[in-house]
Chains A and B, each alone.
Chain A
C-alpha cells in the first residue's frame, strides 16, 4: 500500500498546487496501486480490442452488459449463474456515460446470488417470503467491489497524521 500512499500524496499535493492534470494522473496511479495495474490496463486494452471485433455471440463485450458478463464467465472471474452488478454508474444512465465505459470490469461487482443482487435494487421474494430492499449501508457494502471499499480506507488512513511515528523519530 506504500505506492498508494505515494501516488495519493502526490495527487493531493498537485491538487493543492492547482496542478489538476497532475492530480488526475497521480490519482489514477493511486487507483492502479489498489487494483492490480496489470489487470486494469489489460482489461482496458482488451476492451478496446474487442470493441472492434466483428461479432461475439449476441453482442460485443463491453458494448453491452450481458456481453461483458459472459466474458467474465469465460475468464472464470464469475461462476455460471453468478449475477454481476453495475455499481456507481447505472446502466439506465444511457445518455451520460458510454456503455463501453460502464462495462469495464472496475465498474462491475460479482454478486453472491440473484437474491443478494435483487435486494440491492428492491424487495425480492424467496419461497413466498418477500425480503425487503437492503438499507443504504448494506447496498453500498454488497454492491461495491472490494477494491472500492479498500481504497478509501487505505488512502484515508494514510492521510491521518501519524503522531506516534513523529514521537518515535525524535
Chain B
C-alpha cells in the first residue's frame, strides 16, 4: 500500500514536471527569434573584437638583456625605499624601461621615457592598490637593491631579463560585458570565429604590457577598476556614469603565474594593473588600480 502511494507520488511529480517544462517552453517562433538575436549578438561581438583590437607587448625572454626584467632583485633609484605594507616588504614583480617599451612599438599612451617598478602585496588581494607601481625619470640613478632580509623566501622570484614581442590582442567577451548565454557560435564558420586577432594564448605565459587582459574569471575588469578607484563596493548599484568612465582604463601590466620564476598567485592566477589613459600620458602612475584573478 505504501509502495503504491510512493509510486503514485513519483509518477504524478514526474508528470507535473514534464507539464511545467512543456508549458514554459518557448514556441517555435520564440525559439527562432532567440536564435536570430543570438546570431546577431555573436556577429556584433566578432566585429567589436576586430575593431577594438589593440597592440600589446608580450614579455618574452630577452635576447640581449636590458633594464626590463621579471623577478630577481630590482634596480631601484637610490632615493626609493623598498615598498612595505604594515611593515612587511612586498614582492618585487617586474621593472620596465619605457624607452625599451616604446622601441618595441608598445602602446602609444605610455610615455616614451622613464622607468617603472611593480611590487605585489599578496595579502592585499581585493584592494585597489595591492600592486604598487614606482615611477622614475630616466635621469634617476639606479642601483641593484638586495632583497630585504625579512622578505619571505617564497616572495623572492627568480630573475628573467625580458624583451618584447608585439601582438594584437582583441577584447574578450568579459571585457565587452556580453553575457555568454547570448552567444551562439553554431552558425559561424571556423574562419569567421578565428577572424578577430587572437593574440597570445594557449600555454604561453601571459606577461603583458598594454592591450587587453586575459581573464581567468568572468569579470568586467574595467568596471571593477572604476569602482575601486572611486572606493565603491563592487556588489552595489552601478552609478550611471561608471560605464562611460570605465572605457578610459587601459591595461598597464599583466603578470602571470610562472613556475620557472617561482611565481604563483593563488592557483596559477594572474595579476593586473590598470591605469587611465590620461594619467599614463601625463606620467602619473600614482593612480593605478590593481586586480587579481585565479582558478
Contacts and interface: CB of A to CB of B under 8 A. Distances in A.
A64 B202 contact: yes
A58 B201 contact: yes
Contact of A55 (B193, B214, B233): B193
**Most B Cβ at <10 Å: residue of A53, A65, A114, A123:** A114
Interface string B176-200: 0001110101000010011000100
Given A66-B214, A70-B218, A125 B267 contact: no
B266 A121 contact: yes
Contact of A114 (B130, B185, B193, B219): B219
Given A127-B233, A128-B127, A73 B180 contact: yes
A56 interface: yes
Interface string A145-157: 0000000000000
B266 A122 contact: yes
A115 B127 CA distance: 11
Interface stretch (B14-22, B73-81, B118-126, B139-147): B118-126
Interface in B216-242: 216-220, 233-235
Contacts of B219: 81, 114
B201 A115 contact: no
B286 interface: no
A118 B126 contact: yes
Contacts of B68: none
A57 B259 contact: no
Contacts of A73: 179-181, 218
B264 interface: yes
A113 to B, nearest CB: 7
A58 B190 contact: no
B202 A92 contact: no
Contact of B216 (A65, A74, A113, A122): A65
A20 B84 CA distance: 55
Nearest to A79: B218
A126 B202 CA distance: 32
B268 A74 contact: no
Contact of B267 (A53, A113, A121, A126): A121
A83 to B, nearest CB: 5
A90 B269 CA distance: 11
A55 B294 contact: no
Given A57-B193, A122-B125, A94 B172 contact: no
Interface string A98-110: 0000000000000
Given A54-B194, A65-B295, A117-B294, A90 B217 contact: no
Contacts of A90: 267-268, 295
Interface in B100-135: 122-127, 130
Given A55-B198, A92-B267, A66 B216 contact: yes
B3 to A, nearest CB: 14
B97 interface: no
Given A54-B193, A56-B185, A70 B180 contact: yes
A56 to B, nearest CB: 7
B215 interface: yes
Interface string B250-271: 0000000101000010111100
A35 B269 CA distance: 28
13 contacts: A59-B201, A59-B202, A70-B180, A74-B180, A76-B181, A82-B218, A91-B267, A92-B264, A115-B126, A118-B125, A121-B269, A123-B123, A123-B125
Given A54-B193, A86-B267, 19 more contacts: A53-B190, A57-B172, A58-B214, A63-B202, A65-B295, A66-B215, A69-B216, A73-B179, A73-B218, A84-B217, A85-B295, A90-B267, A91-B267, A113-B235, A115-B126, A121-B294, A125-B125, A125-B127, A130-B126
Closest 5 CB pairs of A and B: A54-B190, A125-B126, A73-B180, A91-B268, A125-B127
Interface of B: 122-127, 130, 172-173, 179-181, 183, 185, 190, 193-194, 198, 201-202, 214-220, 233-235, 257, 259, 264, 266-269, 292, 294-295
